[in-house]
Structure 1
Amino acid sequence: MTMPAHPKIPEQAFTLYDQFAHGRIDRRSFITGLGKLSVGALTTSIMLDALMPNYALAEQVSFNDPEIIASYQEFDSPKGHGKGRGYRVEPAKLDQPAPLVLVIHENRGLNPYIKDVARRFAKQGFIALAPDGLYPVGGYPGNDEKGKEMQRSMDQAKLANDFFAAAKSLKSDAKGNGKLGVIGFCYGGGIVNKIVTEAPDLPDAGVPFYGAAPDLDKVKDIQAPLMIQMGELDEWVNGMWPDYETALKTANKDYQAFIYSGARHGFHNDSTARYDKSNAELAWQRTISFFRQHLV
């Protein structure tokens, strides 16, 4: 994927975007902050265009690719919102039961980037389910900013339980081999850490990308091997890592962690300027190999 050419975006702009994307500042403060960074040809408009998602650029696997079959699937969520729905993608040709991967979105619902990640897994021989946490309130609205507001307004305990329910549903998929991997990005990475600690019987492997650390008192309950992916410049998530790693080591858990040089929070998301192609591709290759090792 090739991002459009822009003057070099200052690091402070990426920091502002992360603060905005995670609800730590509002849109007015975000735009005002970009304005203070504007100089010469680097205008507020150019920075905003570079930082905000462009999903047309990010698609790697078409929804009508002949090698996959995509559909929407509902699942029961008795401890959550009662019902959930996800985007399910499987290989078009299944000669035997396939390994399973739950793909958990960021803090804005099931956007096109996450759906594309699910399709990428199907192209690699996995059955993938990407739940839309916003389904109980009408589903992903087609706009990340609105999706972020919707997700923030929800009952967070029920929302988390919807993802737990999705994991349980996928693990028993009739076409699956019963082995479940869980992967998530940003908010979704934090949910992966919750699933492996609070529902340790469900996942057979977990890959949190730049996700919040779990309750450290529950790390001892982890059963699944973990591959933890982080960007070097992600100060918020990385600030949690030393204590999380100590807990993993103390409990003698099976984990590996990678901190990608020069990468920011969200470096795998190829719809924004935070995308780091070389690091994202390396992290993806490692993820596929890790899931094949533990799920196939």
Structure 2
Amino acid sequence: MADKPTVTQAMIQAYDDYTHLTLDRRGFMDKLTKLAGSGAAAAAIAPLLAANSAHAAIVPPSDKRVATSDVRFLGETGVMGGYLAIPAFATEPVPGILVMHENRGLNDHMRDIARRLALEGYAALAVDFLSPLGGTPSDEDTAREMVSELKNPETIANAVAARAWLAGHPRTTDRVAAIGFCWGGGLVNDLAVADPELRAGIVYYGRQPATKDVPAIKAAMLLHYAGLDERINAGLQAYRAALLTNDKVFGIHVYPRVNHAFNNDTSAARYNKEAADLAWSRTLAFLKGTMF
């Protein structure tokens, strides 16, 4: 059996630049080839950096403990799509939580996270924020390009509409939180600024809001960041200071020696189980303390 290719931090950084800054696959593969030493080595390493949609779900779609459905609701830009997961065992309305996707759009990994939250007693709505552009495509590069075309004020307004729709669902209480990853983490911060009805926000390695906007936040915030994620972490100290100055309810955890997207178990090179498990346990404890 051939040895598993070695993935270096420089390779991970190159992938992060490609997926979040340049969206230039040719340039990324050229750089990866130089770092790996050959085109063949680069071809073997690239799949380890990317997310693998074939990765087995932690909570399979067939799990009878969760009732799932594709839903539609009216947003700022028109009809929005989403994936709703509700605990099948619930006899009373349960708190709601929005799941904000990465810049890959609403994919199976995000649906899996919604089901995980449903098993914890929440009605989880994974929103497809690419709905205004026709919905999330199967190709991740295309999805990232589409995400870059979204207009932030409209996207935030769609998130506010999603929160209101979930709060009014007959299977939920009016308490709604939001959890977001990467691009979706930044959107959770934006939603917390824009929507005083949001009860709680959980951010995984998402860009921070402008410090001048922090006073508008009413939600309790839990912020997870990766120690090696220099690009996103550049604004973290200013955000922390603004939260403190404005007496907001928040917690910040920075996980040392892990990369951006450390929670995504479909990405072999960047996933860190220890950090992901710890962040998830903190997330569940935070939700229990704020949503019930």
- 1:108 is paired with a residue of what secondary structure? coil
- CA RMSD, Structure 1 to Structure 2 (Å): 1.7
Distance 2:190 2:56 in 1: 28
Aligned: 1:118 with 2:134: no
Q: Secondary structure at the match of 1:46?
A: helix
Please report how far the alpha carbon of residue 236 of structure 1 lies from its aligned counterpart in structure 2 after TM superposition.
1.2
**Partner residue in 2 for 1:175:** 171
Aligned to 1:213: 208
From 189, 192, 215, the equivalent of 1:193 is 189
Question: Which of 279, 283, 286 is the matching residue for 2:282?
Answer: 286
TM-score by length of 2: 0.95
The 1:25–1:110 alpha-carbon spacing in structure 2 relative to 1, beyond 3 Å, is: closer
Which secondary structure state, in structure 2, belongs to the residue aligned with residue 139 of structure 1? coil
Note closer, same or farther for the CA distance 1:41–1:22 as it changes in structure 2 (3 Å cut). Answer: closer
The alpha carbon displacement at 1:239 in A equals 0.7
In 1, the alpha carbon distance for the partners of 2:54 and 2:260 equals: 21
What is the Cα deviation at residue 42 of structure 1?
7.7
Q: 1:146 to 1:140 in 2, by over 3 A?
A: same
TM-score, length-normalised on structure 1? 0.94
Partner of 1:8: 6
- Give the distance between the partners of 1:65 and 1:142, measured in 2 at CA: 24
- The alpha-carbon distance between structure 1 residues 15 and 58, as it changes in their structure 2 partners (threshold 3 A), is farther
Deviation (angstroms), 1:41:
11
1:62 aligns with 2:52: no
| 1:4-83 equivalent positions in 2, closer than 5 A | 6-39=4-37, 43-77=41-75, 80-83=76-79
Q: How far is 1:255 from its partner?
A: 0.7
Distance 2:150 2:247 in 1: 36
Give the gaps of 5 or more residues in structure 2. Answer: none
- Are the equivalent residues in 2 in contact too, given 1:134–1:150 (CA < 8 A)? yes
Letter in 2 for 1:291: L
Contact 1:58 1:113 in 2 (8 A): no
C-alpha distance in 1 between matches for 2:256 and 2:32: 25
Distance, in Å, in 1 between the alignment partners of 2:141 and 2:285 is 34
Structure 1: how far apart are the matches of 2:125 and 2:112?
A: 11
The residue number in structure 2 matching 1:246 is 241
CA distance in 2, matches of 1:23, 1:41: 23
Kindly tell me: are residues 208 and 253 of structure 1, through their superposed partners in 2, closer, same or farther at Cα, counting changes over 3 Å? same
Query: The residue matched to 2:21 in structure 1 has which SS?
Result: coil
Please state whether the residue corresponding to 2:232 is helix, strand or coil: helix
After superposition, what is the alpha-carbon deviation per residue over 1:213-245, rounded to whole angstroms, capped at 9, x for unaligned? 112112112111111000000001111001111
1:146 to 137, 142, 166: 142
Code of the residue aligned with 2:20 in structure 1: it is H
User: What is the rounded CA distance, in whole Å, between the counterparts of 1:222 and 1:58 in structure 2?
Assistant: 37
2:123 aligned partner, one-letter code:
I
Matched, 1:136 2:140: no
Identity %: 34
Whole-Å separation in 2 of the counterparts to 1:76 and 1:25: 31
* Amino acid across the alignment from 1:128: A
CA distance in 2, matches of 1:27, 1:114: 24
Deviations 1:106-144 (A, max 9, x none): 112101111110011011111000110112222111121
Shift, 1:157, TM fit: 2.3
Could you list the runs of 5+ residues in structure 1 that have no partner in the other structure? Answer: none
Distance across 1 between alignment mates of 2:158 and 2:56:
27
Superposed displacement of residue 204, structure 1: 1.0
* Poorly superposed stretches of 4+, deviation over 3 Å: 39-42
How many corresponding residue pairs? 290
Q: Displacement, 1:13?
A: 0.6
What are the superposed Cα offsets for residues 226-278 of structure 1, whole Å, 9 maximum, x if unpaired? 11000000001111001111111110111110000111111111111211111
Partner SS, residue 208 of structure 2 = coil
| Matching residue's letter, 1:133 | F
Query: Does the residue aligned with 1:258 lie in a helix, a strand or coil?
Result: strand
Question: Residues 150, 40 of structure 1: CA spacing in aligned structure 2 closer, same or farther, 3 A cutoff?
Answer: closer
Once residues 6 and 281 of structure 1 are traced to their aligned partners in structure 2, the CA distance between those partners, rounded to angstroms, is 25
